[in-house]
Amino acid sequence: MPSFETLQNALSEHQLFADKTWRTSPGAFPLSPAQLAEIREIGDACHAFYRAQMLLYNRSAQGKKILRNGGPELPWVAAYLDRGKPDGLVSHGRHRLVRNLSPVVIRPDLLITETGFTLTEMDSVPGGIGLTAWLNEIYAQADPIGGDAQPELFYRAVASLAPEEPNPLIAIAISDEASTYRPEFEWLAARLRAASRRVHCVHPGELMPIGGTVSIPVNGTPERVDVIYRFFELFDLGNVKGIDAIFDAVEAGTVALTPPMKAYQEEKLNLALFHHPALDEYWNENLSPSQIATLRRVIPRTWIMDAAPLPPVAVLHAPSVNGRPIRAWAELANASQKERNLVIKISGFHESAWGARSVRLGCDTSRDEWLAAIEDATDPESENLYILQEYHKPIRMRHTLYLANGSPGDTEGRVRLCPYYFSASNGRVELGAILATLCPADKKIIHGMKDAALLPCALA
């Protein structure tokens, strides 16, 4: 197992996250065979959910009935998912060459709770791909899950979008807003170039539209790009130089881009759609029984916080308060402490939609603070939708971490797992490495922080 000195030297040499530090451990985080088997099931279910959700959006946007044998038309689905988005981005996502594309890399956030895994988010623009692969190398003696395969899995998934090119030129475009992640992608690209893969990290400003194609400078000479791997958020498109020309090139078929620039695929409210009673029949028709069972087991109940007025006879699709349905979101302020095991977070297309920036935890705030969070989320003037989600508290777990003096010490914390799934050319889903984040036990919301440990996972 890596010594404290080995880890400190490796971290100072590579700096996988710019200006970020974390705690280290002499060992990988252990998972049981049953946990690993379930994580594989979750990957299959998540990829199937993306495809089914894409079909649902397309049918809703086109005014079609959502079921094969007819069923209702549900234009409100696309209306929710397009809300607050620029018209040009919406029309691009509906283009014939784009509308049936799904992300080739996804990473859900899985909390370890009393009832098992709880999925709080599905990320299709995930950071940590290079970092987790690097950790797997550092902890190679622990035989980490995914081994050293993650760089190749990433490459194969992205390169599959240029099937006619034996060695496509891939540009990983990283915006200023996401620059913290540049070192890990530089490491990943260097690993792939060492294997004779043509993969380069660039700033979006280095993407050069030339004659209907997109090029990047390689050793000082412009070369045509086959695939762009997008690591910039869609709300940040205004700061991406030449984005209109990139839109045109993708729609002309001269360059492939992943994850596709389809904002609705990056909305957390898709989790609420999975739980919406009007869509039960749709999910049953488009997901297998085992996929539905997996998703219902791991996705906590989630609701869309729509501030639209109700008719007198209606109630909200929302949690109950004191055992009764509610007609206005503000009634949640009167919920008991137990009933306030709820989280409010912005759905997407906003600078606060990633990390824990917009999260408000009902059981951890006063009544007035909780009411203020509800009122912010249901502001009728806001273009951004929020979701309300059941909060499943992660359990306390113990793992050995290095202390500040370099000695190992038994440490208690709460754990989030981030498995990386890659689309294979045969349509299968391949599991790469799994990143464990062990946060101090007093932190209710788990995210990367200097007091947390970042670890690869291995079979117990």
Mind listing the pLDDT tens digit of every residue in the chain (460 residues)?
Answer: 788 888 888 877 777 766 667 899 999 999 999 999 999 999 999 999 999 999 999 999 999 999 999 889 999 999 999 999 999 999 999 999 999 999 999 999 999 999 999 999 999 999 999 999 999 999 999 999 999 999 999 999 999 999 999 999 999 999 988 888 999 999 999 999 999 999 999 999 899 999 889 999 999 899 999 999 999 989 888 888 888 889 999 999 999 999 999 999 999 999 999 999 999 999 999 999 999 999 999 999 999 999 999 999 999 999 999 999 999 999 999 998 889 999 999 998 777 555 556 688 888 889 999 999 999 999 988 888 999 999 999 999 999 999 989 999 999 999 999 999 999 877 789 999 999 999 988 876 666 567 899 999 999 9
Helices of type H across 162-268: 182-194, 243-252
Inter-axis angle of helices 129-138 and 4-14, to 10 degrees?
150
Query: CB count, 10 Å around CB of 126?
Result: 22
Please name every residue paired with 111 in a beta bridge, in sequence order, or none if there are none.
118, 416
Which residues touch 428 (CB under 8 Å, ≥6 apart)?
Answer: none
Residue 448 main-chain phi, psi, to 5 deg:
-65, 130
∠ CA 420-40-344, nearest 5°, is 65
Per DSSP, 181 falls in state: G
**What is the 3-state composition of the chain as percent helix, strand, coil, each rounded to the nearest 5?**
35, 25, 40
Tell me the pairing of strands 29-31 and 453-459.
parallel
DSSP strand pairing (302-304 vs 342-346): unpaired
Phi and psi for 140 in degrees, rounded to 5?
A: -60, -35
Bridge-based pairing of strands 342-346 and 386-390 is: antiparallel
Please give the model's pTM, rounded to 2 decimal places.
0.95
pLDDT value at position 80? 96
Q: Is 267 exposed, middle or buried (0-12, 13-18, 19+ CB in 10 A)?
A: buried
From CA 338, how far away is CA 302, in angstroms rounded?
17
Cα dihedral value 438, 442, 446, 451, nearest 10: -50
The structure tokens 């997109």 sit at: 214
Return left, alpha or beta for 320; rule: phi > 0 is left, psi -120 to 50 is alpha, else beta. beta
Chain centroid offset of residue 144 CA: 22
How are strands ordered across the β-sheet holding 360-361? Answer: 302-304, 386-390, 342-346, 360-361
Quote the DSSP letter at residue 23: B
Per-residue confidence (pLDDT) for residue 73, from 0 to 100: 95
